[in-house]
Amino acid sequence: MSSAAAAAAVIPFDALIEHWQGHRRLTRRMIERYPDEQLWTFAIGGMRPFGQLALEMLSMAEPTARGIATGEWETTFERTAMPKAEVLRRWDESTQRITEYWASITPERLSEHMVAFGQFPGRAYDLLLYVIDNEIHHRGQGYVYLRALGVEPPPFWER
C-alpha cells in the first residue's frame, strides 16, 4: 500500500455525524427505558450507577463538539442525581447544540491536532471517536444493569 493510499480518508464527514447521532438516539432510548428509581442507586460490582454514566456522556459529548468547533474546552464533573426527565431534557438540548456546533466544523478542522480539555492530545476525529467509544462502552454496561433489573434493553442494531 502506498503512503498516499494509507493517508486517504475513508469515512465521509456526514457519515461520521450520522454515526454519532445514531448512537446517541440509541442511548436516549436506553435512558428512557431505565427505571427512574434505580437510575442513581443500582449498580453491579462497585461500578457507577447508570445515571452517573449518562451524566459523564453528557459532559463529554457537547463539550467535545464545542471544543472542536471553537477551541474552548470546558466541561463539568458534577454528577448529582436528578429525575430521569431532566437527564432526557439535557440529552435533547445537547443533541441540538451538537448539530449547531457541527454546522461550523469543517472536514479540515476534524483532521487538526488539538488538546481536548487541556489534557487529551489527538486529531479531532480521534477525540470524537473516543467520545463515541466511551458512550458505547458505558451503554453496554447499562445493558447489563437493565437486564439484571429485569428490563429488556432496546435492540443494539436500531439507531
By C-beta, is 55 or 124 nearer to a second copy?
124
Position 12 contacts a second copy (CB under 8 A) = yes
**Half-sphere exposure of residue 86: CA atoms within 13 angstroms, side-chain side:** 8
Position 19 contacts a second copy (CB under 8 A) = yes
Distance CA 139, CA 133 (A): 10
Which distant-in-sequence residues (6+ apart) come within 8 Å of 136 by Cβ? 23
Position 158 contacts a second copy (CB under 8 A) = no
Contact criterion met (CB below 8 Å) for 50 and 145: yes
Position 81 contacts a second copy (CB under 8 A) = no
Contact criterion met (CB below 8 Å) for 114 and 71: yes
Binding window for a second copy (CB under 8 A); candidates: 34-42, 67-75, 85-93, 131-139 = 131-139
Binding window for a second copy (CB under 8 A); candidates: 30-38, 61-69, 72-80, 147-155 = 147-155
Which distant-in-sequence residues (6+ apart) come within 8 Å of 56 by Cβ? 48, 79, 134, 138
Minimum gap (Å) between residue 34 Cβ and a second copy:
14
By C-beta, is 5 or 76 nearer to a second copy?
5
Contact criterion met (CB below 8 Å) for 35 and 151: yes
Position 113 contacts a second copy (CB under 8 A) = no
Position 145 contacts a second copy (CB under 8 A) = yes
Number of residues that bind a second copy (CB under 8 A): 47
